Amino acid sequence: MTITLDGSHLTRAQVVAIARDGAHVVLDPKQLERVRRTADFLADKVRCGEPIYGVTTGFGSNADKLLGAHRVRDELPGGNPEPREETLPEELQHNLIISHAVCVGDPLAPEVVRAMLTIRINTLMRGHSGVCVETLQALTELLNVGVVPVVPEKGSVGASGDLAPLAHLALGMIGEGLAEYRGETMPAVA
């Protein structure tokens, strides 16, 4: 059985078929083009140096800090006159995943993680996030070949409690964390 993810039409029965039965997943080509256009738009804004919260700027109190630049508030009276180390957008994203992967406890069952992965891919297929097509293809390949990221069962970060488990889903894509393949748990490799 093959199930096409398009960001809009995923059913509960399809999630179960992918998670439990290993149904093959494909990504809707038309919707992938929308995803690509959004990612290209975002990449263009990054190249132009536009401040985009959490992409070209820091988070929270660092929202006024463009990555790769100095803090704007440091120029104000009472600001920090010492130069700070520059951070690039890629480093920020890497560090964000690492810092949020704080779950503990026994691993979730593989079918639960496969369901999480399916739902996350489908959500990203809507084309609103700026995710790269290649990232979605890589996540889909994980599902199709049976690689299951190890996600500990307990943990949350802030008001969006899903951030910690989702960070564990992404660890393998950056060469970190653990994954299960054919019943064996091993270090993930990018």
Catalytic residues: 53
Among 98, 186, 101, smallest CA distance to 148 is for 186
Sequence-distant (6+) residues with CB within 8 A of 108 are: 116, 151, 152, 153, 165
The whole-angstrom separation of Cα 31 and Cα 162 is: 25
Contact 177, 149 (CB under 8 A): yes
H or E element in which residue 186 lies:
strand 184-187
Task: Give the β-pairing of 2-5 and 24-27.
Answer: parallel
The whole-angstrom separation of Cα 146 and Cα 43 is: 31
- Both tokens of residue 96? 């964000």
